[in-house]
Amino acid sequence: MFRFFKRKSEVEKLQEKYNQLMKTYHELSKVNRREAEKSYVEAENILKQINSLQDTGK
């Protein structure tokens, strides 16, 4: 209920960016394969950052 006032954590920000890049990747994969692969690589790098942040948080 009070989530509106809570700031997003670094992991949540990265997850949103990852989801956006994967959506872009999916859309571009039908049109421009090279640009889609760039988007995918960037999304994978963000996923690695998310995993490292979650591992250090344990």
Residue 10's identity, in one-letter code, is E
- Structural domain contains residue 4: no
Instruction: Place 42 in a pLDDT band, splitting at 50, 70 and 90.
Output: very high
Cβ contact 14:50 at 8 Å: yes
pTM of the model: 0.83
- Structural domain contains residue 3: no
Q: Which pairs with CB-CB distance under 8 Å and at least 24 residues apart come from 16-23?
A: 17/46, 18/43, 18/46, 18/47, 18/50, 21/46
pLDDT for the residue 16: 96
Instruction: Place 5 in a pLDDT band, splitting at 50, 70 and 90.
Output: confident
- Structural domain contains residue 22: yes
Cβ contact 8:26 at 8 Å: no
pLDDT for the residue 44: 97
Tokens standing for residue 50: 């998310």
- Structural domain contains residue 35: yes
Mean pLDDT estimate for the chain? 91
- Structural domain contains residue 2: no
Residue 32's identity, in one-letter code, is N
State the residue range of the domain holding 22. Answer: 9-57
